Structure 1
Amino acid sequence: MADAELLAEALDLLAEYPIVDGHNDLPWALREQVRYDLNRRDIAEDQRDHLHTDLARLRAGGVGAQFWSVYVPSTVSRLAGQDAVTATLEQVDFVHALVARYPEQLRLALTADDMEAARAEGRIASLMGAEGGHSISNSLAALRALFTLGVRYMTLTHNDNNDWADSATDEPKAGGLTRFGEEVVREMNRLGMLVDLSHVSPDTMRAALRVTSAPVIFSHSSSRAVCDHVRNVPDDVLAGLPANGGVAMATFVPKFILTEAVAWTERADENMVAHGFHPLDLSAAGLAVQSAFEAANPRPVATEATVADHLDHMREVAGIDHVGLGGDYDGTAFTPQGLEDVAGYPNLVAELLRRGWSRDDVAKLTWRNALRVLRDAESVARGMSEAPPSIATIDQLDG
């Protein structure tokens, strides 16, 4: 089948089974760029000079449901403790404002039924995921408050350990999860909040899978066997997803998916630090430093085929019912060729069709798997509805 025919088939498929994307950092990008002022950065207009995301490109990409990341950095020098909780609430507030500003395009989704209703209405279901357990500052009451406000997953860590869970990019401290960390997982199950295992260490992944009674997600992580980066998922964990029912949502971040990009990124990060910036700084000044480094040191380029390689392997190990997509748009400085922004998803779908993925396979990847996982988490929560909220504290369990 010719490339144009594959792309046409991809677009037709996405019209029926649109993309559920597990992770988009637009809220933080707009906080950093314009302090949430949508009059200055109106996503109803073309924002390709500033962002990976706007409404027209979401439509062009066939996105039907988006988990907006209500992310705050875990780096202690920036936001920690109650400051992290406050900043997370500001992120949540912004997503509510975003949905209210564009009611014909976006619909707040709190349940799987809401996702289906948004699809039927031709609107983009807008869900929220908190990125990092530091956002609750060791408080199960704060966790419950986030759920009440609409947050439907929480990544157990970000780039740093917290007091109860180990991150993939920090030195192990808890050995996975502490007793309080296990209580966090159980309380998330009781609420119906998805446990997100992106960013956590392999031991934390395994501990969470042991404790949870509901399916987990990896909102934006790819295969460690294909690209040996600590942010990716080892095969033994992928192989455990069928028993759990969870979904690993492949990310598009080049430094996580392309082996050649790993060493290049280490050098680029060292350059950022030498210029006084955190490696993840996406401010205009930070991006300028990154761009100058890239001009002098051309970066290895990932493509939609690179992502497809990960998805092929993840499907082989975990099964077709346990894969999804989490692009991490507006949370990364670089994106793959063919997947430059949120309009690129049809290119990936076309590549998968070229490789022999069936229409049913792709429908599971794009829509059905993520919908099922949220519905299953809701079912587990209903089964735990008689259980009282946990009043445990970290001092009681880990002190």
Structure 2
Amino acid sequence: MTDAVEVHAGALVIDGHADTPQRFVDEGWEFTGALDGGMLSLEAARAGGLGAEFFAIWAEPGQWKERYAHRTLALIDGVLEQVRRHPAELALCCSAEEIVAAHAAKKFAVLMGIEGGHSIENDLGLLRDYYRLGVRYMTLTWANTNEWADSSGDLDDETVVHHGGLTAFGREVVLEMNRLGMMVDVSHVSDACFWQVLEVSRVPVIASHSSARALASAERNMTDEMLRAVAANGGVVMVNFYPAFLDDAWREAWIALRPERDRARATLTAKYGKDVPYTVLSRVEKELAARLPRVPFATLIDHIDHVAKVAGIAHVGIGTDFDGIQALPGGIDSAADLWKVTAALMERGYSAEEMRMLLGGNLLRVFGAVAAGAGC
């Protein structure tokens, strides 16, 4: 165990996805403050050896319809304000080199990734503006299909207009992201969209928070064929910690709670109107999720191990989805417990060098490769 703790402490650990910016904006919460019911704070990150975080910039599509850019900019501002207010502890990073420099200076590396291409409002100018503000990846869809890319989250919804993957404009978006040096994130997209993105992109792609479909059948997860394709592309798949994407039984139990979840949402809507703060709804849903047995910690490790074996150790990472999910696997209560992932994988035979790759080195490589391909 001591060896694993030392390996973890000596690694540059990068998390590909956390929804904490909602707290900055909706609660006025400080990243340097106490967790207060959350999953990620500066203190928890330090305790768990986390050195860098891609903060998700997510405009909930129902609540922020016709105001996507407004919410997106508010969340970006929330992240940038944390860096401005805490310059001794936090550093905004826009490149792989800046992450390494921040880590050497013992500062927490703050990065941003947009979750959901609806945030660009079908405007490449907005995409470029987000890049100028520091955004370094974009998830092409969230659970909603937008005007130019299909999501895995609403394929069964007959009221949604689907495109069979990417539209012509969607291809323009991918190529403009390549030109900028913004990583293309295929988490959440439909299978057809995934394969078309790999055909279009001239540089490696990422999946910032996706688990293995061979182990849990959620359509959000990636098949073995997809894992191998991302590896062949030179990219990286970062495993999601959400129990619904780790275990089919947990997901089915959570779906069974939908009537109660809907009633809770209706109660909050009556109180707040259509602008129910995400963090308020999240707390209520966490209380409901707490009724369900926690998915075993070993199940999370199974997913990471599976991706590493299928895609290869050079193409796996972690994308926790902290503060964007209702529950975590057993043994993981916050970022402070991330060292346990290293300990469990080393017990399964992973070497110190393999852990350094998995914990952050792989993402650094892809980040650098995408930046090097900018202008193509």
* Equivalent residues in 2 for 1:89-108, closer than 5 Å: 89-108=73-92
* Equivalent residues in 2 for 1:277-316, closer than 5 Å: 277=266, 282-284=278-280, 287-288=283-284, 291=287, 293-294=288-289, 298-316=291-309
Aligned to 2:132: 148
- Are residues 1:62 and 2:56 paired? no
Aligned to 1:361: 354
% same residue = 38
* Equivalent residues in 2 for 1:89-238, closer than 5 Å: 89-171=73-155, 173-238=162-227
Aligned to 2:272: none
Aligned to 2:158: none
Among 216, 224, 249, the residue aligned to 2:238? 249
The residue type equivalent to 1:71 in the other structure is: W
3-state SS, counterpart of residue 338 of structure 2: helix
3-state SS, counterpart of residue 195 of structure 1: strand
User: How many Å apart are 1:198 and its aligned residue?
Assistant: 0.8
The residue type equivalent to 1:377 in the other structure is: V
Q: Which runs of 5+ in 1 are unaligned?
A: 1-5, 385-399
Distance 1:290 1:109 in 2: 31
3-state SS, counterpart of residue 202 of structure 2: coil
How large is the RMSD of aligned CA atoms in angstroms? 1.9
3-state SS, counterpart of residue 240 of structure 1: helix
User: How many Å apart are 1:80 and its aligned residue?
Assistant: 2.5
The residue type equivalent to 1:260 in the other structure is: A
CA contact (8 A) 2:24 2:79 kept: no
Q: Which runs of 5+ in 2 are unaligned?
A: 156-160, 269-275
The residue type equivalent to 2:258 in the other structure is: D
Number of equivalent positions: 364
Distance 2:94 2:265 in 1: 41
How has the CA–CA distance of structure 1 residues 251 and 286 changed in structure 2, closer, same or farther, with 3 Å as cutoff? Answer: closer
User: How many Å apart are 1:289 and its aligned residue?
Assistant: 5.9
User: How many Å apart are 1:294 and its aligned residue?
Assistant: 4.8
The residue type equivalent to 2:40 in the other structure is: T
The residue type equivalent to 1:243 in the other structure is: A
Aligned to 1:27: 21
How has the CA–CA distance of structure 1 residues 85 and 282 changed in structure 2, closer, same or farther, with 3 Å as cutoff? Answer: closer
The residue type equivalent to 1:152 in the other structure is: R
User: How many Å apart are 1:343 and its aligned residue?
Assistant: 0.8
Deviations 1:181-234 (A, max 9, x none): 011000000000000111111111111111101111111110011111111111
* TM-score of the pair, normalised by structure 2: 0.92
How has the CA–CA distance of structure 1 residues 285 and 318 changed in structure 2, closer, same or farther, with 3 Å as cutoff? Answer: closer
CA contact (8 A) 2:22 2:278 kept: no
CA contact (8 A) 2:206 2:230 kept: no
Aligned to 1:330: 323
- Are residues 1:339 and 2:335 paired? no
3-state SS, counterpart of residue 153 of structure 1: strand
Distance 2:367 2:100 in 1: 12
How has the CA–CA distance of structure 1 residues 180 and 304 changed in structure 2, closer, same or farther, with 3 Å as cutoff? Answer: same
Distance 1:143 1:248 in 2: 23
How has the CA–CA distance of structure 1 residues 336 and 282 changed in structure 2, closer, same or farther, with 3 Å as cutoff? Answer: farther
User: How many Å apart are 1:46 and its aligned residue?
Assistant: 2.1
The residue type equivalent to 1:236 in the other structure is: E
